[in-house]
């Protein structure tokens, strides 16, 4: 995953989608990109994870959904933990400020 991300993230035309698509291609062991059609318009994009990836199969859709859910759950957990830590730090500063006679 990291190898595909580092090698291919910058090759994607979108600076936002490139890192995510490259990481997913590496995690799933598939190739993404190449010649694509969007709304009847054909686009030629770099192939992500081309050296070690295989062609996408229909079973990979379920794997991608599971990976996406895991990543989303992990991101939520990190955000909640960060918010809890920030709240405790802020509460500690308030309590410490009161102890020193500050308003």
pLDDT tens over the chain, length 103 residues: 888 888 888 888 888 888 999 999 999 999 998 888 888 899 888 889 877 889 999 999 999 999 999 999 999 999 999 999 998 888 877 655 555 555 5
Q: Supply the pTM of this predicted model.
A: 0.70
pLDDT at 95: 59
- Predicted local confidence at residue 16, as pLDDT: 86
Are 56 and 48 in contact, with CB atoms under 8 Å apart? no
For residue 24, the model assigns a pLDDT of: 92
């Amino acid at each position: 995953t990291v190898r595909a991300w580092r090698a291919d993230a910058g090759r994607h035309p979108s600076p936002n989608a490139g890192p995510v698509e490259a990481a997913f291609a590496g995690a799933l062991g598939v190739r993404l990109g190449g010649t694509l059609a969007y709304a009847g318009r054909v686009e030629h994009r770099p192939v992500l994870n081309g050296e070690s990836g295989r062609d996408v199969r229909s079973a990979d859709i379920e794997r991608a959904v599971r990976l996406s859910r895991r990543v989303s759950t992990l991101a939520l957990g990190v955000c909640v933990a960060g918010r809890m830590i920030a709240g405790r730090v802020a509460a500690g500063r308030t309590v410490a400020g009161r102890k020193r006679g500050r308003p």
